[in-house]
Each structure stands twice: as C-alpha cells, then as structure tokens.
Structure 1
Amino acid sequence: MTTSSETPVLDTLAAMTLDSIERCGMPEDTLILTRISALVAMDAPAMSYLAHLGPAMESGLTVDQLQDVLVAIAPIVGTARVMSAAAHITEALGFAIAVAETDLGPGA
C-alpha cells in the first residue's frame, strides 16, 4: 500500500535510518555518531545531516558528543572536511528550525 506524502524521499530516508537503528546491535547514540562520521568523511550535504537529526535527538545525543566525534576524526578526514561538516550541520539545524516554526504557525 502506497501512502501519500509531501516529502516522499525524505520520508523514505528517515524510515531507512530508523530501520537500520532497529536492526543494528550498536546503542543508538553510537550508531548515529558512526553515521555522522561517515557523512563527514564523504563531505555529505546538509540534507544528509538533516535526515539524522531526529534519530540523533531521540537517541539523546548531545552537542558535546558530536563535537567530540568531529575532534576525533579530524586527523583522519582532515580540517576541510570537518569544517565543511560543521557548516552543513549548522545549515541542517537551521532548516529543521524553519520547518518547525512553519509547522507551529504564526506567532510561534
């Protein structure tokens, strides 16, 4: 059965992420940190980070943990990739905030 959505691609990617979390033996926060490390290594765009914001928040991931991962992988992936990731993560957070404000309506 097909469901209708205004964001079918994003919904599919989110579902894949959630399914992976359910099937993986790692603790959720470790899985998300591992995925974020992979996104940094491949210089992923902001939308890739956006797909992981919900699961990251649900797993209780903290900003300190995210920063620790960026520090830990910097010698491997390089400064340019880490700085690019920081910018993409910031962009993804801005997009998520804008969507949340739109969903809350005027005066929110």
Structure 2
Amino acid sequence: MAEEESPVSDTLVEITAVSLERSTLEARELMLARIAALAAVDAPPASYLLNVGAAVEVGITLEDVEGILVAVAPIVGTPRVVAASGNLAVALGFAIALEAESETEAED
C-alpha cells in the first residue's frame, strides 16, 4: 500500500510544530493566543479543528474559549465573534463525530 501524500496538511503540521518549539509562551497561553488569532482572522472550521486537540490537551475549556471571544469582541467585532462561535461549533461537532466513529470501529 503506497504511503498517502498530504503535502498541505504535512506543511501545516510542520509550521505548527516550529511555532510551538520557538514560542516562549506556556502551552496553555499559546493555545489561548491561537484561538484568539483564529477568531481575529475569521478562520474556517477546519482551522479550529486543527487546534482543538492541542487546546484540550493543555486544559482549555469551553468556558476559556467563551472568555477569549468576549475579550477579543471589542477588537475584532461582533461579526467575527459570531462567526468564530459557529465555526468552532462545527469543528467540535466534526471532532466528536470522528471520535465516535473511531470508538465504533474499535468495538468491531
């Protein structure tokens, strides 16, 4: 079976790894900053999905995300915060569906 090529996602993973290695922020602070940046640039659900696993691993909660969105709202504006909330909900729903599918496959 030939190894599957995914140059775009591989590049994103590499860029993220370098960012994590070179940042002087603690892991939790870094993920809070990344979530705020995603809201600021009106990131699509896939961008949130790429970060949700790492955010959960360092203890970021939904309450933390709500706090981040409230904090950046005066700067990025209502439309971006509303879009971020929706995009994050889509990403979380997708992540939950993937996890459920993995559990179902493991049971079979």
TMscore range, shorter length: 0.7 to 0.9
Kept in 2: contact 1:37–1:70 (CA 8 A): yes
1:19 deviates by: 3.7
1:11 deviates by: 5.0
For 2:40, the equivalent position in structure 1 comes to 41
1:52-96 Cα offsets, whole Å, 9 max, x none, are 011101111122211111001000101110000000000000000
RMSD: 2.2
Normalised by the size of structure 2, how large is the TM-score? Answer: 0.83
Distance 1:79 1:91 in 2: 18
The number of aligned residues is 106
Identity of aligned residues (%): 45
Distance 1:100 1:77 in 2: 32
Aligned ranges for residues 68-107 of structure 1 at < 5 Å?
A: 68-105=67-104
> Which blocks of at least 5 consecutive residues in structure 2 are unaligned?
none
> Which blocks of at least 5 consecutive residues in structure 1 are unaligned?
none
Distance 2:28 2:53 in 1: 12
Normalised by the size of structure 1, how large is the TM-score? Answer: 0.83
